[in-house]
Structure 1
Amino acid sequence: MDRLRMGVIGLGWFGEIHAETIAGVPNLELAALCTRTPERLAEMGKKFGVSKLYRDYREMLDDPDIDAVSICTMWDQHTAPAVDALKAGKHVFLEKPIASTVADARTITAAAKDAKGILFIGHVVRFNPRFRMAKQAIDEGRIGKIVALSSRRNIPAAWTPTILEKIGPIVGDAIHDTDIMLWMTGDRIVSAYAQTVDVRGLKYPDIGQTMYRFAGGASATLETVWCMPEKTPFDIDERMSIIGSEGIIHIQDTFPNLAIVDDNKLHSPDTTYWPMFNGVRGGALREEFNYFASCALKGEAVTIGTAEDATAALEATLAAEESARTGELVRIG
């Protein structure tokens, strides 16, 4: 087999982006779509020219012609489709966070142990070339022992009113930087302290500020602001500094890596994660799907985006959210 026939479960805004990405990967075929909303299902089927349309993901899993699934349901609805897909022998691309609880994350991990298909967790930042080069430099020993890390991952308020009714900024976005910090250090987080700020009165607070301590002694601070002014001309302000005993790495993927002025307005669109070219998505998300497809077609377990790494990042961010609720330091492990 040199091509995977893939279905997408969950067709919210990011499920649609997944479908647009799959359509542009040579060894993937977008073969089926699933969502519970009939109007949305018909709309997406027409857009992508897909005839296999399901309102129940279990019917998709019963189709022997589907080799793999991308699961883009809400994070608290990951467990059943992921476990069922693995039991059905499908390869599984599961969006982050792996689950909404550590117990559910471990259930998914256990289901993958003896499964025919592979399990990959979509922590897309690992496929950002700037972060990959930073990891390479660290592995080469160029900055010595890591002693401190800091990150910023801020997005405009226009993006987030709907999201903040479903998930908070720490587990929703700081989980990316948590995962990267765990990856860069090769260490584990032993404590978390966090504070949040409620700006707009939504279900979850708009701002999360987090501090971690690593087992090896390094400390980290993470800033996640989901309410930058709506007129902000860029989609993300993303930065990370990694300070070692012998050097420093600074990563920046934010305005103005591309600036477009039209109608007296300045725009700085995404050029890294899922930019659109000729109707399909490119960037880090496409590289992520390329990696998933390569591993699945070779029958090799993933070494990036493992369930164990994703669970460690989830556990740390959930501890940070608990700290923000209680005002206390939360120890892990």
Structure 2
Amino acid sequence: MLKVGVIGGGSISEFHIIPYMKNDGVELVALCDSNEQRLAKVGERYSVTELYSNYEELLQNPEIDAVSICTWNNTHAVIAIAALEAGKHVLVEKPLSMTVAQALAVEAAVKKSGKVLQVGFVRRHGDNTKLLKQFIDQDELGEIYYAKSSCLRRLGNPGGWFSDQSKSGGGPLIDLGVHMIDICWYLMGKPRPVSVSGNTYSKLGNRSHIQNLSFYQAADYDPALNDVEDLANALIRFDNGASLFVDVSFTLHAKEDELYVKLFGEKGGAEIEPKLVMVTEKSNTILNVTPQVDNLSFDFEKAFKNEINHFVDCCKEGKETIAPVADGVQIMRMLNAVYESAKMGKEVYL
């Protein structure tokens, strides 16, 4: 039985707590949050009585084998390192850290500890992604030389810590772009990034004046606080000649929200957002092929269930995670390079 503690009691923590509770090989023994009122509510909701307001105290509990880290971005690295040093396996929400230096420090701690660290790249665990990965591994697309992904919200700045640079590390790029970059890079075979050209824009703010159109707001939403970008875009080049274009926004003068992930190879192409479809040629004819599966779209709850179950298996059976710390480091290199390129106004070489 793997005994688990969850650090952080915000909305994302429930996507960890519920799958842990449904896994027969797991006992959820402890929760931690610095907000004691919220901690008490979450503990009562899930009948967890061992509650901590300080993560260091939770990590001192010798019964706990593994932890999920669901806190502000600026705490991910320090808590992950502390957990590894305490002999715990770690599932840390994305991004792995705020800087490349922090990510490398986490990587060093993983190597020293010998414990599992899995980064929360949850889109890798979507059923549509897993199916497409099988096709790619069977060379159905051939060499993937170009990918593009977009996650544009026209009114979707959550505010609160998401809009506080000191806690989040950035806006839509580090919140949404991390997923868009990662899922393409993962399916492209994780080529080494060599250069990044990026732009960020802070033009519209959080648009708290907009009426009659609802959007998700963080628990600590404050319309007066916003020092992160509205929009980011980037062109990333890789050592094998492939390239990736990505754009993401919290708010934009767009007709509607937009989400897509597209991959283009020598033998075929594919989309996994908004729905999985394959593109190929047969008998001198272009075919759009729709796999006959229950769900062609990304299922958020199912993907988290898959992610948690995979982490548990890695901890208990010694399997290698499909989202290791090395991948978290590379994603941080790309994210930081976008911000650096935007600041300098020129391409950055990695």
Please confirm whether the aligned pair reaches a TM-score higher than 0.5, indicating the same fold: yes
Q: Verify: 1:328 aligned to 2:346, yes or no.
A: yes
Q: Verify: 1:209 aligned to 2:233, yes or no.
A: yes
Partner of 2:22, secondary structure, is coil
Residue 164 of structure 1 corresponds to 163
Cα RMSD (Å) of the superposition? 2.2
* 8 Å CA contact retained: 1:171, 1:318: no
User: 1:318 corresponds to which letter in structure 2?
Assistant: N
The alpha carbon displacement at 1:207 in A equals 1.1
Mapped to 1, the partners of 2:19 and 2:175 lie a distance apart of: 21
Mapped to 2, the partners of 1:33 and 1:237 lie a distance apart of: 36
Cα deviation code 1:147-168 (max 9, x no counterpart): 2111112345245223232332
User: 1:320 corresponds to which letter in structure 2?
Assistant: V
Change in 2 beyond 3 A, CA 1:211/1:133: same
* 8 Å CA contact retained: 2:149, 2:181: no
User: 1:191 corresponds to which letter in structure 2?
Assistant: S
Change in 2 beyond 3 A, CA 1:30/1:155: farther
Percent identity, please: 32
The alpha carbon displacement at 1:4 in A equals 1.3
| Structure 1 stretch displaced more, 217-226 or 94-103 | 217-226
The alpha carbon displacement at 1:116 in A equals 4.7
* 8 Å CA contact retained: 2:91, 2:117: yes
Partner of 1:151, secondary structure, is strand
Q: Verify: 1:80 aligned to 2:78, yes or no.
A: yes
Gaps of 5+ in 2: 206-225, 276-296
The alpha carbon displacement at 1:125 in A equals 0.7
User: 1:252 corresponds to which letter in structure 2?
Assistant: E
Q: Verify: 1:297 aligned to 2:301, yes or no.
A: no
Mapped to 1, the partners of 2:153 and 2:63 lie a distance apart of: 40
Gaps of 5+ in 1: 255-270, 275-281
The alpha carbon displacement at 1:242 in A equals 1.0
User: 1:146 corresponds to which letter in structure 2?
Assistant: I
Partner of 2:113, secondary structure, is coil
The correspondence for 1:249, drawn from 270, 277, 296, is 270
Partner of 2:118, secondary structure, is strand
Cα deviation code 1:254-297 (max 9, x no counterpart): 7xxxxxxxxxxxxxxxx7443xxxxxxx4100100000001111
Change in 2 beyond 3 A, CA 1:228/1:129: farther
The number of residue pairs the alignment matches comes to 304
Mapped to 2, the partners of 1:25 and 1:272 lie a distance apart of: 21
Cα deviation code 1:73-112 (max 9, x no counterpart): 1111112211111111111111111111111111111111
* 8 Å CA contact retained: 1:109, 1:308: yes
Residue 60 of structure 1 corresponds to 58
Mapped to 1, the partners of 2:74 and 2:238 lie a distance apart of: 27
Mapped to 2, the partners of 1:101 and 1:14 lie a distance apart of: 22
